[in-house]
Amino acid sequence: MDTQNAPSPSYEVRMLRSIRRIIRAVDMHSKMLQQAQDITAPQLVCLLALVRQGPLTLKALSQAIDLSPSTTVGVVDRLEAKGFAARTRSETDRRQVLVSSTVAGEAAAQRAPFPLQNRLVERYRDLPELEQATLTLALERLVALMGAGEIDASAILDLAPIAEARSHADDHDPEYDREPSGAGA
């Protein structure tokens, strides 16, 4: 077959292949994270939220990571079984149970490889602003076309290293406390 004269795939096929490649990259990153650190991506997201924000109720944690409360309970159970998180009663309201990271959890968060999104964002920021806007609008349109606008997605989009993010939280830096852009996306 003469590949030079073969028609190029349609835009639909190219788009679907691109989506599959993105899904595959995320899946491969998640598996690498699981093998290297014995932690899943949702567990890491949860652990990072606890390290950055300090002790949280399960409800506040589920809101912070944009997962359902029942999913968050399962994730916290697994983090607790690994010794990365602990539940304690609030000293001010004994009815509340707080979840916090342990020393081992903080160490695991420090060792975790940078999320896949960091690489993407670093390269994205190098693009001209017009190209950034075009890509963003195209992806938002794709999400709408797929009817995926209501699907939960992790809201943890802070890209600062853990130690830096933690020091910002300790200083109560207003820039750290603001809602990340694209929350829920």
- What would you measure as the largest C-alpha separation in the chain, in angstroms? 75
Rounded Cα distance between 139 and 152, Å, is 16
40-92 pLDDT per residue, tens: 888 888 999 999 999 999 999 999 988 889 999 999 999 999 999 999 998 88
Binning pLDDT at 50, 70 and 90, where does residue 152 land? Answer: low
Domain assignment of residue 183, yes or no: no
Domain assignment of residue 1, yes or no: no
Find the domain containing 65 and state its range.
11-170
CB atoms within 10 A of CB 4: 4
Domain assignment of residue 71, yes or no: yes
Radius of gyration of the chain (CA): 19
Domain assignment of residue 179, yes or no: no
Q: CATH code at 39?
A: 1.10.10.10
Domain assignment of residue 115, yes or no: yes
In total, how many domains does the chain have? Answer: 1
| CA-based nearest residue to 46, from 83, 13, 85, 92 | 85
The pLDDT value recorded for residue 90 is 86
Rounded Cα distance between 83 and 79, Å, is 6
Q: What's this model's pTM, rounded to 2 decimal places? A: 0.61
Domain assignment of residue 178, yes or no: no
Q: For residues 160-182, b (16+ Cβ closer than 10 Å) or e, as one string? A: eebeebbebeeeeeeebeeeeee
Assign 139 to helix, strand or coil.
helix
Domain assignment of residue 3, yes or no: no
102-147 pLDDT per residue, tens: 999 999 888 877 667 778 888 999 999 999 999 999 999 999 999 9
The pLDDT value recorded for residue 4 is 66
For residue 155, pLDDT over 50 is answered with no
The pLDDT value recorded for residue 159 is 43
CB atoms within 10 A of CB 18: 11
